[in-house]
Amino acid sequence: MYPDNLRYTREHEWIRDDGGTCTVGITAYASEQLGDVTYVELPRPGAEAHAGDALAVVESVKAASDVYAPVRGRVLEVNKALEERPELVNESPYDEGWFFRLDDVSAAEMNGLMNADVYQAFLKGLEA
């Protein structure tokens, strides 16, 4: 359920190193907690971000939530498909439902994020 090739944050974002750029989205856990996603507000390409900065907004039938930058970087690209089909966040959180891509990312910051095993243990702690 949580791919091994991703890194995860405590705020339920994931990030994948695509070899020079990094793709960011929210986890299946986050999309399940939100319910049916109805709207996504994406960042502006070129925007500079620091780890923890709110870059996007996702709205659902249950709530609205910020999507944070997991690491420092610059927004290279956004997933325009989400503007027409926000439900992709629920249907395909790790593939078609990504939010934005970053470049100029710090490898050290990436390494400081949780791997899949640690993230799953973190989720179990939330349920306790």
**pLDDT confidence of residue 107:** 86
Secondary structure class of 117 (helix, strand, coil)? helix
**pLDDT confidence of residue 42:** 98
Per the CB < 8 A criterion, the answer to whether 104 and 125 are in contact is no
Percent of the chain with pLDDT over 90: 93
pLDDT beyond 80 at 128: no
Strand partners, 100: 24, 78
- Answer with the residue of higher pLDDT: 128 or 81: 81
Phi, psi of 124 (to 5 degrees): -60, -35
Per the CB < 8 A criterion, the answer to whether 56 and 66 are in contact is yes
List, for residues 47-85, the tens digit of each pLDDT value. Answer: 999 999 999 999 999 999 999 999 999 999 999 999 999
Structural domains for the chain: 7-127 (2.40.50.100)
Query: CA–CA separation, 28 vs 14, rounded Å?
Result: 10
